[in-house]
Amino acid sequence: MSAPSDRMSPDERRAGVSLASIFALRMLGLFLILPVFSVYAKTLPGGDNLALVGFALGAYGLTQAFFQIPYGIASDIFGRKQVIVLGLVIFALGSFVAAWAPDMTWIIVGRVLQGAGAISAAVTALAADLTREEHRTKVMAMIGSSIGLVFALSLVGAPLLYGWIGMGGLFSMTGILALAAIVLLIKAVPPAPAPLGHAKLPLRQVVLDPDLLRLNLGIFVLHMVQMAMFVVLPHALVDHGGLQAAAHWKVYLPAVLVSFAVMVPAIIAAERKDKMRPIFCAAIALLLVVQVGLIFFGESLWSLGLWLLLFFVAFNVLEATLPSLVSRTAPPAAKGAALGVYNTTQAMGLFIGGAAGGYIAQHFGDNVVFAVCAGLVLIWLVVANSMNFPQRRVTPAATQTN
């Protein structure tokens, strides 16, 4: 009477949904301010300096990069849930500091504290603890998809919320949501395994693995491009599209809805029909087309809307598939280490993208930002074409149901 092996158990489904929700609530601290922060920053002392604005956006990723692997190791020693609670408390504290901040310096302090709540590795390690090997890819894809979903919804909702409650309200809301995520962790996530005690992570093996290196390059480029783009896109919508920040949802909402309608069948085809390589590479190529399009055809509201739609399609597909590929590519004994390195490189991309995007925009202009992004994506596309994609796991039960 046991459930077929190709189906997730109720506890596995509960773990996947609740951990993806916790991850999503935490990521709001990054994504919810992206569409409006560069507009809001002009109202603060120091906010007319785009390099400083970019640094404030990317500071979150800087501390994320420093703390991901230590948090992962601490979760092995002290327990996953304890470390996740600590990270969420620190993240909430940073949110409230940023909400109070009277100038850009204190905004940066708040963003640094937010990033110090680096729970990504601990959350993904807990997801691996609570799921069987044959279902781990599904749960990792759920977590990855939640990032793309929150990013898209944030771009739609942030301009409206900014108009209602201001930037201080946005930061306060992300702090409250982080505290709500603690309640969700305690109440909804199944009991975690006992701490494993100190174990030496095979970081050298993980860091130097060729296919993991390619995937880590991918998540670095994806989030660097994302942050750099959204240093300048809000201004482009104001300057070229004639839309004030509170009206940006009129562009984001249709683009987001259409992008998810396109993304879902692409993910299904990649996972169920063994089309991961062509779909993965096509999404990277689409990201490249977006950057080139923004350089040459980004001077009107309609063109900006088109490029945003295509960006969301590419971003959501890649954000859902990358952690899935990491969990399937990593050696079984090194999944936690692999996910720690993966999340560290993601955070580095966030920081460098924000800081470099602001610097380049300040000194060389918006089109140079898109040109640099295009060059990075082109390198990623070449590297991805040489990847060894892991084969889809097929169990006897799954074969019978297909």
For residue 180, the model assigns a pLDDT of 92
Of 295, 287, 279, the closest CA to residue 312 belongs to 287
pLDDT band at 269 (very low <50, low <70, confident <90, very high): confident
Distance CA 247, CA 137 (A): 38
SS3 117: coil
More confident residue, 142 or 367: 367
* DSSP assignment string, 165-213: HHHHHHHHHHHHHHHHHHHHHHHHSPPPPPP-------HHHHHH-HHHH
More confident residue, 240 or 312: 312
Query: In order of start, what are the domains of the chain with their CATH numbers?
Result: 10-389 (1.20.1250.20)
Of 228, 176, 265, 251, the closest CA to residue 366 belongs to 228
With the CA atoms of 320, 289, 218 and 254 taken in that order, what torsion angle do they form, in degrees rounded to the nearest 10?
A: -30
In percent, how much of the chain has pLDDT > 90?
A: 26
In percent, how much of the chain has pLDDT > 70?
A: 88
**Lookup: tokens for 182:** 């603690």
Distance CA 70, CA 4 (A): 37
* DSSP assignment string, 339-376: HHHHHHHHHHHHHHHHHHHHHHHHHH-HHHHHHHHHHH
Of 57, 67, 66, 62, the closest CA to residue 29 belongs to 57
pLDDT tens string 385-394: 988 887 655 4
**Lookup: tokens for 165:** 């409650």
Model confidence, pTM: 0.74
pLDDT above 70 for 137: no
pLDDT above 80 for 246: no
pLDDT above 80 for 317: yes
SS3 122: helix
Query: Averaged over 119-129, what is the pLDDT?
Result: 83
- Evaluate whether 39 touches 245 at the Cβ level (below 8 Å): yes
Query: Averaged over 334-341, what is the pLDDT?
Result: 73
pLDDT band at 397 (very low <50, low <70, confident <90, very high): very low
Q: For the ranges 184-188, 192-196, 374-378, which has the lowest average pLDDT?
A: 192-196
Q: How far is CA 90 from CA 49, 118, 143, 175, 241, in A?
A: 28, 9, 21, 9, 38
pLDDT above 50 for 398: no
pLDDT above 80 for 206: no
**Lookup: tokens for 62:** 């800087």
pLDDT above 90 for 335: no
- Per the listing, tokens 């991309």 go with 349
Distance CA 44, CA 104 (A): 6
Q: One-letter amino acid identity for 128?
A: A
- Evaluate whether 360 touches 256 at the Cβ level (below 8 Å): no
- Evaluate whether 366 touches 307 at the Cβ level (below 8 Å): no
pLDDT above 60 for 240: yes
Distance CA 245, CA 237 (A): 8
For residue 134, the model assigns a pLDDT of 63
